[in-house]
Amino acid sequence: VQLQASGGGSVQAGGSLKLSCTASGKVSSFNAMGWYRQPPGKERELVAAITSGGSSKYGASVKGRFTITANNALNAVSLQMNNLKPEDTADYYCAADNMGTWSTFHFALWGQGTQVTVSS
């Protein structure tokens, strides 16, 4: 099973981007999918996650600006990013199949990063 992320790019502050991630291979449905990001020189952090039941969780810095959605089968996920800020600049990674808890995620599958650059 592979996760393929797309949609990254460069945008000015205040702009919007939409990231998409699709699973390929022998997969029916995951229990959860999410997006993480790693800014230059910093640690990876959770951006947003969504469960098969439709519950979602967001990192504090993106609440109210980013929205995570998924298809009914939960094998594809999108991240709508609005009002982007320079501090949102990072490599964004799609993840799936949570082996941990809703409090502490431990995703088993990871996609390649897609770069998002926000200029001021």
Strand pairing category for 90-98 and 76-81: unpaired
Q: pLDDT of 28-72, one tens digit each?
A: 799 999 999 999 999 999 999 999 988 999 999 999 999 999 999
pLDDT at 27: 81
**Other CB atoms within 10 A of residue 37 CB:** 24
Q: pLDDT of 80-103, one tens digit each?
A: 999 999 999 999 999 999 999 988
CB-based burial of residue 103 (10 Å sphere; 0-12 exposed, 13-18 middle, 19+ buried)? exposed
pLDDT bin (cut points 50, 70, 90) of residue 9 is very high
